[in-house]
Every structure is written in C-alpha cells, then in structure tokens.
Amino acid sequence: MSSIRDVARKANVAACTVSRVLNGTANVSPETRMRIEQAMKELNYIPNELARGMFKQKAGIIAMLVPSIRHPYFSSLAKYIEDALYQNGYKLMLCSTGDDVEREKEYLKILKSNIVDGVIMGTNSQEPEAYEHFGKPLVMLDYYVSDKVPVVVSDHAQGGFLAAQEFIKSGCKYVLHIGSEAETERVLSYESHRVLQKTLEEKGIRARELDIKWNTFDYDGYLELSKLILEKYPEIDGIMAADMPASAFLKAAVQIGKKIPEDICVVSYDGTFVSNTNILEVTTIHQPMEKIGHTSVEVLLKLLKGEELEKTYMKFPVQIKPGQTTRAHQINI
Amino acid sequence: MSSIRDVARKANVAACTVSRVLNGTANVSPETRMRIEQAMKELNYIPNELARGMFKQKAGIIAMLVPSIRHPYFSSLAKYIEDALYQNGYKLMLCSTGDDVEREKEYLKILKSNIVDGVIMGTNSQEPEAYEHFGKPLVMLDYYVSDKVPVVVSDHAQGGFLAAQEFIKSGCKYVLHIGSEAETERVLSYESHRVLQKTLEEKGIRARELDIKWNTFDYDGYLELSKLILEKYPEIDGIMAADMPASAFLKAAVQIGKKIPEDICVVSYDGTFVSNTNILEVTTIHQPMEKIGHTSVEVLLKLLKGEELEKTYMKFPVQIKPGQTTRAHQINI
DNA sequence: TTGTACGCGTTATCAA
DNA sequence: TTGATAACGCGTACAA
C-alpha cells in the first residue's frame, strides 16, 4: 500500500500538498494538482481511513447491537438504519450478541475503544448503568434507562389496547399472551401485556400471561411450546404473541385440527414479514419499524454533532392490520 | 478520553511500560504493574483501537456486502458469519447495498481504505475485474470470477435435480420456475434452473423458466406477480421459486381456490425460515447456510494469514425437505 | 526491568 | 501557492 508520502515524493511536493488536493482544503496550482493526481493514479493510491479517523478522532462508523440479526424485526430495523446512516456518510457495524450477556458486555467494551462513533442498542442485558455511562452517543431501542438516555419506542400501550379490542370484538373468553421472562419495567414492550391484561379483565374476559425464556431464535422450539400450550390450556380461544411464536402457534393449532379463527383467534405482534408470508392473513399489530430506524439515526446524528435533544423519549404509534385469524372484522378475499 | 501517556504519567512510568502491561509483551515488575493497573482504573483508560489498528496495519473488521440485510437468506448467513468471525477476534461490518449498483461500487471503494481487513461478497453487480483486483482478501458467495478468487457455493445442479425429481414423482405435466433476470453464467445459482429444465424435458415434461427483475425485497410485488402468473399460465401444475416468491405464490394460489398439492405443486428454493413459518409444510431445497457461512470465514482467515488455498471453488450439497406442497411423499401430520 | 526515540498515515498550523 | 513541523495514540527496536 502506498502512502500519502509516496505520492508526495513521486510528484515532488510535500505530503501536505497532496492532502490539500485530496480534501480541497486550500488552493493548489493547477499544474501541481495535475502532477499529484497523476502520481496518485500511478501508485494506485487510496487514503488510509484509519489514519484519517485517528486524526479526526472519529471513525465514521456506528455500531448497532442486536440479539440476533436473523430475527426479522432486527434485520428490518437494521436495514432502515443502514440506509439512513449511509445517507449521512456513516457505515454501520452490526453486532449480534446471540442473546449472550457476556458477549454483549464484551462488545460494549470493544465499542468504547474509538472504533465506532456511536451506538444503537437493540439489546439490553446489562445493568442500566452500563448504558447510562457509556461515554459515547448512544440510543436505546425499547428500553428505558433514565431521562438522560434517549430511547425510541413503539406505543406498546396502544398495541396492547388494540389487541384487546380485537379479542373483545371477536367474542373471546380466555386469552393467553406470551411474553418474555426477562421483562422488567424497563423493557417497554412489556406495556403491551400489561394493558392487554387489564383491558380484557375489565371486560370480564379471562386473560393470562405466559412468560417464557427464549434466548434463541428457534422456530422448532416455538412449535413444541405451542403444542404444550394447546394441551395444557385446551380452553383458550385467543392468543397474542410475537410474529414468530404466533406463526408457530398457528401452525400447531391447525395441525391438531383447530379451526382458525372459529376455535382460536390469533393476534401477531410486531408486523415483520413473518406475519405476512403465511397462507392466512394474520391479524397483526405493526410496529413502525421504518420510523423507529430513522428516528434512531436522527437522534444519534444530533448527539454526534453535540446538539441538545428536545426530548429523550420518542414514542410512535402502532397500527393494527386486521386479518383472517380473528373474528372482529369479516374480511373475505 | 485518556491516552496511554496519561496513564504513564499518573503511574510514573514510560508509555511503553504501560503498553507492555497491556499486551504482556515483556516482564514488568509486579509492583510497577500494580501501579499501572491502578492508574488505568482511575483514569478509566480504554486503549484506542484506531491507533492500534494503524500500527498493526489491520483493523480487526471484516466487511460483508449483501443486497439486503432484510432478506432472510442473507440475514441468516450474516449471523453464521458474525459468529465465526467473533470466535476469531474479528468484528463484522455489514453493508447493505439495496441492490444498487452504484452503492455497491461506492462501498467497495471505501472498503479498500484500510477500514476493513477483508470482504465477503454477497453481491455481484460489478464487473468481474472489480473483484479480481480488489487488493484485499475477498471471498465471493455464489458468483464465479476466476480461478484465483475463492468462491463458496451450494450445489445448485443437485438442487435443480432434486426439485425435478420431486415434480416428476408428483406427476406434474407443466412446471414453471422463476429465476432472476440478471443471471449470467457467473451467477452460480442459475445452474439449478438449467438442470431443472433439462431434467424435466428429458422426461417429456413441459418446463418453462420465467426470469423476472426483482431488485427489491417486496412481498406484495411477488404476490401481484403470482396472480399474473396464475392468470397467464392456468395450466401449470408445478412451480419452483425462491422462498419468498414461492410463499407469495402459495398464498395467491390458495386465494383463488387452487388446492395444494392436488392442483399445483410448489417447491421452495433456499430453505430460510420463510419456508418454515407457513401453516403448510412447504417442500424445500435447503442450502447449507451454516456451512457456507463458516467456510467463507475459514477461507478469509486463511487469506489473512497469508496461507495458500488448496482450492478456490468450494461447493456444498443441498438437501430436500419434503413437505405438503408436493405429491411425491405422502406425509401426514 | 525500564526508558528513549521513532514510525504508522493523515491533517492543521504557521511560516516562507 | 507551498513547505516544514507537530500532533493524533500506540507499539517496538534499541539503548540504558
């Protein structure tokens, strides 16, 4: 690899003159410029971004941590974020922790080392302090740390409410909703379960939350779980779960001969393409992934510029897409 | 941010002694070590990876270019690759080109600038020369450049053959297979279409390839296309397509009242989770994504170490998973 | 065992 | 318009 000095030597100028041509920071006589450009071509010169970044004290890279990039929710989000970053001259470094606490910790450690300029956090297995005192611009997704740490999130209370309405209109009597074991008050998506439960109970409808531990993205595991649920709770006539487990449940229910939506209503939560690629149109609560992705980047860019944030809590409405797995809307195709 | 010199000053030693403690490159007296470690803690010192990388002439980052990270095939692949890289101390930088020729070009340009140590190419919209003379370790996926550029690929000929067998056993008379418009001989997945076509024709079965242009990851687009196909080719009784369009076709066919697999047999190609999350078990040709991911990394690591490759063409067998969308195997669940 | 001096590639500052 | 020099943070001969 040839350096800027090699070019300078070949063109009979000083290194800084080459730099000036490169960045257009000052006037260079057309003649000198020509000579330098010629030399750059001949040597096949490519500026060293590492050295550049070192000088400017920035790398031009933003990291995003996700539990698993395979997961459609995060891969979609990553796409929107990547697009937005690219528009602004940043590259995305994607870090998939595999739901491993240690691995997230290690990544956070590495990321402090000037290798990235900021971080978008799709994981949250650490203590809140780890995010609060990160030392670099950071945006949380779906997880509340403190009023000082910006967080971008869907209106999960609305999501829970819309789902509840759907079950109510469908005439359900006993609804199961599948949540995650690790959920604390900080995990904002938990709100959907809370509101769903409350809204149904107010109408005198039985509702029950089932918290499971799913540290892997494992469809067969969801399928097994669904079979167990159908055995253990034969009287349920409604279920809400994230896209992937909801899809598995649907499959398991059909396999044992349940009629959808006559016997059981299914509401899918998230709205990734998994909820869309089924033969049946699945009734789905859609999170505004594109909005969330764009906003995260917007906020991060502000932080990078040193601008103040007007607010650190950014919440966006969800949407319900009625389908063939609930009885509230009678849609015939 | 405190530097290595700040630590040295606080501990009353020279910077290089701190470096030695950091990297364990030489003996340091326990007493001095203690003092230094103390100072590092107090200053909350974190080594600057940028400076490190500059010195070592490597960044510790591998880039992967994909047309869209949302696509389950690439997100799964990325996951396996990320895992393998992480095991070896490398980080993954994911670049999603959005199927844009220009954007891929720009990315390739950036990636030459010492910001990454090597590249795994999931895209191939450039001229072959761009990959052949890249100047850094590079591994291609599914695309042949020359015998000098390593390529990792599934056995698509076998894939096409297995699919053909499935249609033959199912008694199909007219099979449509959906390919991509841009396919040249270099795009190795094209082989599956060639072999499918040939094998069916040899058995006297009508077969027809339909090449469409899909530069976006657009399920609704696939759905529209499927409806058109069903209108224009009402006599087909078999179809092969990638997971996503196959799923869309299945949906469209069911919606207009076709019986699966009685009226039409469907074979899905790739084996991402999209082929798995449907109510129906879809007959699927599975690419060995994990194997492909691991091998790509293995090869790249060898190149980074300067080792010679025994072979540059690495092909791995596919598998067929019989399901409910063909009549060859009668599987009842 | 520890310290000095320099190089890695780039750019900003100041002087010519 | 151009050049010399210092600086960014770290690692390694080489010297002490």
Note whether A276 contacts B82, CB cutoff 8 Å.
no
pLDDT (0 to 100) of residue B183: 67
Token pair recorded at residue B13: 């030693």
A280 touches B at CB < 8 Å: yes
pLDDT (0 to 100) of residue A331: 44
CB contact at 8 A, B128 and B186: yes
- Which tens digits make up the pLDDT trace of A173-200? 999 999 987 768 899 999 999 999 999 9
CA gap A140, A77 in Å, rounded: 13
Which residues fall within 8 angstroms of residue B156, CB to CB, at 6 or more apart? Answer: B188, B189, B190, B191, B192, B195, B318
Note whether A278 contacts B278, CB cutoff 8 Å.
yes
The mean pLDDT of B230-244, rounded to a whole number, is 96
Q: Which residues of A touch B244 (CB under 8 A)?
A: 277
B87 touches A at CB < 8 Å: no
pLDDT (0 to 100) of residue B173: 96
Percent of chain B residues past pLDDT 70, beyond the cut:
97
**Which helix (H) or strand (E) is A207 found in, with range?**
strand A206-212
Please report how the helices A72-87 and A243-255 are oriented relative to each other, as an axis angle in degrees rounded to 10.
Answer: 150
DSSP conformation letters of A293-307:
HHHHHHHHHHHHTTP
pLDDT-based confidence at B212, cuts 50/70/90?
A: confident
Give whole-number Cα distances, B317 to B32, B152, B220, B292, in Å: 57, 12, 32, 10
Token pair recorded at residue B26: 């030489």
Chain B residues 8-37 within 7 Å (CB) of strand D: 15-16, 19-20, 22-23, 25
Residue A115 beta carbon within 7 A of nucleic strand C:
no
A92 touches B at CB < 8 Å: yes
- Smallest CA–CA distance, residue A161 to chain B, in Å, is 26
Chain B CA closest to residue A255: B333
pLDDT (0 to 100) of residue A242: 95
| CA–CA–CA angle B283, B286, B287 (5° rounding) | 160
Could you say which residues from 174 to 203 on chain A have a Cβ atom under 8 Å away from some Cβ of chain B? none
pLDDT (0 to 100) of residue B332: 41
- Which tens digits make up the pLDDT trace of B30-68? 888 889 999 999 888 999 999 999 898 889 999 999 999
pLDDT-based confidence at A216, cuts 50/70/90?
A: low
- Smallest CA–CA distance, residue A203 to chain B, in Å, is 32
B319-321, strands of its sheet edge to edge: B206-212, B174-180, B238-242, B265-270, B283-286, B319-321
Which residues fall within 8 angstroms of residue A74, CB to CB, at 6 or more apart? Answer: A66, A67, A68, A122
Which of B82, B251, B276 comes nearest A279 by C-beta?
B251
Strand ranges for B67-124 from DSSP E = 91-96, 118-121
pLDDT (0 to 100) of residue A200: 98
Percent of chain B residues past pLDDT 90, beyond the cut:
74
Cβ-based contacts under 8 A for chains A and B = 156
CA gap B248, B225 in Å, rounded: 9
Asked if residue A231 has pLDDT above 90, the reply is yes
Note whether A51 contacts B54, CB cutoff 8 Å.
yes
B330 touches A at CB < 8 Å: no
- Which tens digits make up the pLDDT trace of B23-38? 888 888 888 888 999 9
CB contact at 8 A, B39 and B10: yes
CA quadruple A175, A177, A181, A183: dihedral, nearest 10: -110
Chain A residues 16-45 within 7 Å (CB) of strand D: 16-17, 20, 26-29, 31-33
The mean pLDDT of A72-93, rounded to a whole number, is 94
A277 touches B at CB < 8 Å: yes
Note whether B277 contacts A274, CB cutoff 8 Å.
yes
CA gap B311, B134 in Å, rounded: 19
The mean pLDDT of B281-300, rounded to a whole number, is 98
Predicted TM-score of the model (pTM)? 0.93
Q: State whether the Cα torsion A186-A190-A192-A198 is positive or negative.
A: negative
Note whether B113 contacts A46, CB cutoff 8 Å.
yes
pLDDT (0 to 100) of residue B333: 38
Which of A46, A95, A115 comes nearest B50 by C-beta?
A115
